[in-house]
Amino acid sequence: MTQFERFFDPSTVSLKICGVTRLADAEQLVALGVDALGVNFWPKSKRYLAPEKAAWLGFLRGKILRVGVFVNENSDTALRLVQDGLLDVVQLHGDESPADAKPFRDAGVPFIKAIGIKTRDDLALATDYGAAGLLLDAHAPGVYGGTGETFDWDVARSFREQNPGLPVLLAGGIVPENAALAAQSVSPAALDIASGAEISPGIKDFQKVTALLTAIRF
Protein backbone atom coordinates (compact mmCIF):
# COMPACT_ATOMS: atom_id res chain seq x y z
CA MET A 1 0.00 0.00 0.00
CA THR A 2 1.33 3.48 -0.82
CA GLN A 3 1.52 6.30 1.71
CA PHE A 4 -1.46 7.92 -0.04
CA GLU A 5 -3.56 4.71 0.04
CA ARG A 6 -2.72 4.14 3.72
CA PHE A 7 -3.83 7.65 4.65
CA PHE A 8 -7.25 7.26 3.01
CA ASP A 9 -7.71 3.61 4.03
CA PRO A 10 -10.86 3.50 6.19
CA SER A 11 -9.76 0.36 8.05
CA THR A 12 -7.22 2.27 10.22
CA VAL A 13 -7.26 5.78 11.67
CA SER A 14 -4.42 7.97 10.37
CA LEU A 15 -3.24 11.25 11.87
CA LYS A 16 -2.85 14.55 10.02
CA ILE A 17 -1.31 17.48 11.87
CA CYS A 18 -2.29 20.74 10.25
CA GLY A 19 -0.86 24.26 10.30
CA VAL A 20 2.82 23.32 10.16
CA THR A 21 5.02 26.32 9.35
CA ARG A 22 8.61 25.07 9.88
CA LEU A 23 10.76 22.28 8.44
CA ALA A 24 12.09 21.35 11.91
CA ASP A 25 8.54 20.70 13.15
CA ALA A 26 7.73 18.69 10.02
CA GLU A 27 10.82 16.51 10.51
CA GLN A 28 9.78 15.84 14.09
CA LEU A 29 6.33 14.75 12.86
CA VAL A 30 8.02 12.36 10.43
CA ALA A 31 10.18 10.95 13.26
CA LEU A 32 7.10 10.37 15.42
CA GLY A 33 5.31 8.51 12.61
CA VAL A 34 2.56 11.03 11.83
CA ASP A 35 0.87 10.13 8.53
CA ALA A 36 0.26 13.56 7.01
CA LEU A 37 0.94 17.23 7.58
CA GLY A 38 -1.01 20.26 6.45
CA VAL A 39 0.41 23.62 5.43
CA ASN A 40 -2.04 26.49 5.38
CA PHE A 41 -1.92 28.78 2.35
CA TRP A 42 -4.93 30.89 3.32
CA PRO A 43 -3.51 34.39 4.04
CA LYS A 44 -5.99 35.06 6.86
CA SER A 45 -5.10 31.92 8.80
CA LYS A 46 -3.13 32.26 12.04
CA ARG A 47 -1.04 29.41 10.59
CA TYR A 48 -0.45 30.97 7.18
CA LEU A 49 2.66 30.13 5.21
CA ALA A 50 3.33 32.07 2.01
CA PRO A 51 3.83 29.77 -1.02
CA GLU A 52 7.24 31.36 -1.68
CA LYS A 53 8.36 30.24 1.81
CA ALA A 54 7.26 26.63 1.27
CA ALA A 55 10.27 25.26 -0.66
CA TRP A 56 11.23 23.16 2.43
CA LEU A 57 8.26 20.90 1.67
CA GLY A 58 10.43 19.44 -1.10
CA PHE A 59 12.71 17.81 1.51
CA LEU A 60 9.77 15.80 2.87
CA ARG A 61 8.78 14.12 -0.37
CA GLY A 62 7.95 10.45 0.29
CA LYS A 63 8.44 10.82 4.05
CA ILE A 64 4.98 12.10 4.99
CA LEU A 65 1.87 12.99 2.98
CA ARG A 66 2.02 16.76 2.31
CA VAL A 67 -1.36 18.50 2.16
CA GLY A 68 -1.84 22.16 1.16
CA VAL A 69 -4.85 23.94 2.67
CA PHE A 70 -6.59 26.54 0.48
CA VAL A 71 -9.69 28.66 1.06
CA ASN A 72 -11.63 29.95 -1.96
CA GLU A 73 -8.35 30.27 -3.88
CA ASN A 74 -7.83 30.25 -7.60
CA SER A 75 -6.66 26.71 -8.46
CA ASP A 76 -3.44 27.91 -10.17
CA THR A 77 -1.36 28.30 -6.98
CA ALA A 78 -2.32 24.87 -5.65
CA LEU A 79 -1.71 23.14 -8.99
CA ARG A 80 1.70 24.83 -9.31
CA LEU A 81 2.77 23.66 -5.84
CA VAL A 82 1.75 20.09 -6.75
CA GLN A 83 3.53 20.30 -10.12
CA ASP A 84 6.66 21.67 -8.40
CA GLY A 85 6.69 18.55 -6.21
CA LEU A 86 5.94 20.41 -2.97
CA LEU A 87 2.45 19.00 -2.28
CA ASP A 88 0.83 15.56 -2.64
CA VAL A 89 -2.78 16.52 -1.92
CA VAL A 90 -4.82 19.74 -2.02
CA GLN A 91 -7.35 20.54 0.74
CA LEU A 92 -10.21 22.84 -0.30
CA HIS A 93 -11.43 24.32 2.99
CA GLY A 94 -13.69 27.16 1.83
CA ASP A 95 -16.98 27.59 0.00
CA GLU A 96 -15.77 25.78 -3.14
CA SER A 97 -18.50 24.21 -5.27
CA PRO A 98 -18.12 20.90 -7.11
CA ALA A 99 -17.51 22.99 -10.26
CA ASP A 100 -14.64 24.84 -8.55
CA ALA A 101 -12.91 21.48 -8.06
CA LYS A 102 -12.94 20.72 -11.80
CA PRO A 103 -9.34 21.91 -12.43
CA PHE A 104 -8.12 19.34 -9.88
CA ARG A 105 -10.24 16.54 -11.33
CA ASP A 106 -9.06 17.45 -14.85
CA ALA A 107 -5.41 17.51 -13.77
CA GLY A 108 -5.74 14.25 -11.85
CA VAL A 109 -4.61 16.01 -8.65
CA PRO A 110 -6.06 14.37 -5.54
CA PHE A 111 -7.96 16.72 -3.29
CA ILE A 112 -9.83 16.68 0.00
CA LYS A 113 -13.00 18.75 0.27
CA ALA A 114 -13.70 20.17 3.73
CA ILE A 115 -17.28 20.84 4.77
CA GLY A 116 -18.26 22.76 7.90
CA ILE A 117 -21.18 20.99 9.53
CA LYS A 118 -24.16 22.79 11.06
CA THR A 119 -26.77 20.23 10.03
CA ARG A 120 -26.89 17.06 7.91
CA ASP A 121 -28.10 19.22 4.99
CA ASP A 122 -24.59 20.65 4.65
CA LEU A 123 -23.63 17.28 3.14
CA ALA A 124 -26.11 17.50 0.24
CA LEU A 125 -23.38 18.03 -2.41
CA ALA A 126 -20.66 16.05 -0.67
CA THR A 127 -20.52 13.20 -3.16
CA ASP A 128 -20.50 15.52 -6.22
CA TYR A 129 -16.91 16.72 -5.79
CA GLY A 130 -15.02 13.62 -6.88
CA ALA A 131 -12.77 14.15 -3.86
CA ALA A 132 -10.23 11.61 -2.58
CA GLY A 133 -11.70 12.22 0.86
CA LEU A 134 -14.24 14.34 2.62
CA LEU A 135 -13.11 16.33 5.66
CA LEU A 136 -15.91 17.08 8.10
CA ASP A 137 -15.21 20.04 10.38
CA ALA A 138 -17.16 22.37 12.66
CA HIS A 139 -19.01 25.15 10.86
CA ALA A 140 -16.85 28.27 11.23
CA PRO A 141 -18.25 31.26 9.33
CA GLY A 142 -15.55 33.72 8.28
CA VAL A 143 -12.61 31.78 9.70
CA TYR A 144 -13.34 28.46 7.96
CA GLY A 145 -11.26 26.24 10.24
CA GLY A 146 -8.65 25.91 12.95
CA THR A 147 -11.10 27.04 15.65
CA GLY A 148 -10.88 24.16 18.12
CA GLU A 149 -14.68 23.76 17.97
CA THR A 150 -16.31 20.33 17.75
CA PHE A 151 -19.57 19.38 15.99
CA ASP A 152 -22.09 16.54 16.26
CA TRP A 153 -20.00 13.45 15.44
CA ASP A 154 -23.17 11.41 14.81
CA VAL A 155 -23.52 13.31 11.52
CA ALA A 156 -20.02 12.21 10.50
CA ARG A 157 -20.59 8.60 11.58
CA SER A 158 -23.85 8.22 9.69
CA PHE A 159 -22.42 9.91 6.57
CA ARG A 160 -19.50 7.48 6.65
CA GLU A 161 -21.83 4.51 7.04
CA GLN A 162 -23.97 5.67 4.11
CA ASN A 163 -20.97 6.36 1.85
CA PRO A 164 -18.57 3.44 2.34
CA GLY A 165 -16.59 4.28 -0.82
CA LEU A 166 -15.74 7.82 0.27
CA PRO A 167 -13.06 8.21 2.97
CA VAL A 168 -14.15 10.52 5.78
CA LEU A 169 -11.61 12.61 7.69
CA LEU A 170 -12.71 14.10 11.01
CA ALA A 171 -11.65 17.57 12.21
CA GLY A 172 -12.75 20.24 14.63
CA GLY A 173 -11.70 20.53 18.24
CA ILE A 174 -9.87 17.23 18.48
CA VAL A 175 -7.37 17.16 21.35
CA PRO A 176 -5.46 14.33 23.06
CA GLU A 177 -8.28 13.98 25.62
CA ASN A 178 -11.06 13.30 23.08
CA ALA A 179 -9.10 11.72 20.19
CA ALA A 180 -9.75 8.09 21.19
CA LEU A 181 -13.47 8.77 21.54
CA ALA A 182 -13.50 10.57 18.17
CA ALA A 183 -11.73 7.65 16.49
CA GLN A 184 -14.01 5.05 18.09
CA SER A 185 -17.26 6.98 17.56
CA VAL A 186 -16.74 7.87 13.90
CA SER A 187 -14.11 5.39 12.61
CA PRO A 188 -12.77 7.97 10.16
CA ALA A 189 -9.89 7.31 7.78
CA ALA A 190 -8.02 10.07 9.61
CA LEU A 191 -8.20 12.67 12.35
CA ASP A 192 -7.08 16.14 11.32
CA ILE A 193 -5.85 18.47 14.05
CA ALA A 194 -4.62 22.05 14.06
CA SER A 195 -5.18 23.89 17.37
CA GLY A 196 -5.20 20.71 19.48
CA ALA A 197 -1.55 19.98 18.72
CA GLU A 198 0.24 23.27 19.13
CA ILE A 199 1.96 25.53 21.65
CA SER A 200 0.88 28.63 19.73
CA PRO A 201 -0.54 29.02 16.20
CA GLY A 202 1.79 27.33 13.72
CA ILE A 203 4.20 26.01 16.40
CA LYS A 204 3.59 22.34 17.12
CA ASP A 205 3.52 20.65 20.52
CA PHE A 206 5.14 17.21 20.28
CA GLN A 207 3.91 15.99 23.65
CA LYS A 208 0.38 16.53 22.36
CA VAL A 209 1.24 14.87 19.03
CA THR A 210 2.63 11.84 20.90
CA ALA A 211 -0.50 11.68 23.06
CA LEU A 212 -2.69 11.89 19.93
CA LEU A 213 -0.81 9.00 18.31
CA THR A 214 -1.18 6.90 21.46
CA ALA A 215 -4.89 7.72 21.61
CA ILE A 216 -5.68 6.60 18.07
CA ARG A 217 -3.47 3.50 18.02
CA PHE A 218 -5.50 1.79 20.71
Ligand X SMILES: O=C(O)c1ccccc1N[C@@H]1O[C@H](COP(=O)(O)O)[C@@H](O)[C@H]1O
Which residues participate in catalysis according to the annotation? 18, 137
Q: Which is nearer to ligand X, 1 or 142 (CB)?
A: 142
The answer to whether 171 and 145 are in contact (CB under 8 A) is yes
For the chain, where are the E strands, in sequence order? Answer: 14-18, 36-40, 65-70, 89-92, 111-117, 133-138, 168-171, 190-193, 198-200, 203-204
Strands 203-204 and 198-200: antiparallel
18, amino acid identity: C
Q: How far is the CB of 215 from ligand X (least distance, A)?
A: 14
71 scored as a contact of ligand X (CB under 6 A): yes
> Binder to ligand X among 146, 167, 176, 188 (CB under 6 A)?
146
Q: Which is nearer to ligand X, 38 or 109 (CB)?
A: 38
**Region binding ligand X by CB under 6 A among candidate stretches 34-42, 49-57, 74-82, 119-127:** 34-42
Contacts of 76 (CB under 8 A, 6+ apart): none
45 scored as a contact of ligand X (CB under 6 A): yes
Looking at residue 109, the DSSP 8-state letter turns out to be -
d(CA 15, CA 109): 21
| Proportion of the chain in helix, strand, coil states, percent, rounded to 5 | 40, 20, 40
Cβ–Cβ contacts within 10 Å for residue 20, how many? 30
d(CA 42, CA 115): 16
14 scored as a contact of ligand X (CB under 6 A): no
Q: How far is the CB of 201 from ligand X (least distance, A)?
A: 7
> Binder to ligand X among 13, 19, 64, 182 (CB under 6 A)?
19
137 scored as a contact of ligand X (CB under 6 A): yes
69 scored as a contact of ligand X (CB under 6 A): yes
**Region binding ligand X by CB under 6 A among candidate stretches 37-45, 100-108, 154-162, 182-190:** 37-45
176 scored as a contact of ligand X (CB under 6 A): no
Site size toward ligand X, by CB under 6 A = 27
41 scored as a contact of ligand X (CB under 6 A): no
Can you give the binding site for ligand X, defined by CB under 6 A? Answer: 18-19, 38, 40, 42, 45-47, 69, 71, 93, 135, 137, 144-148, 171-174, 192-196
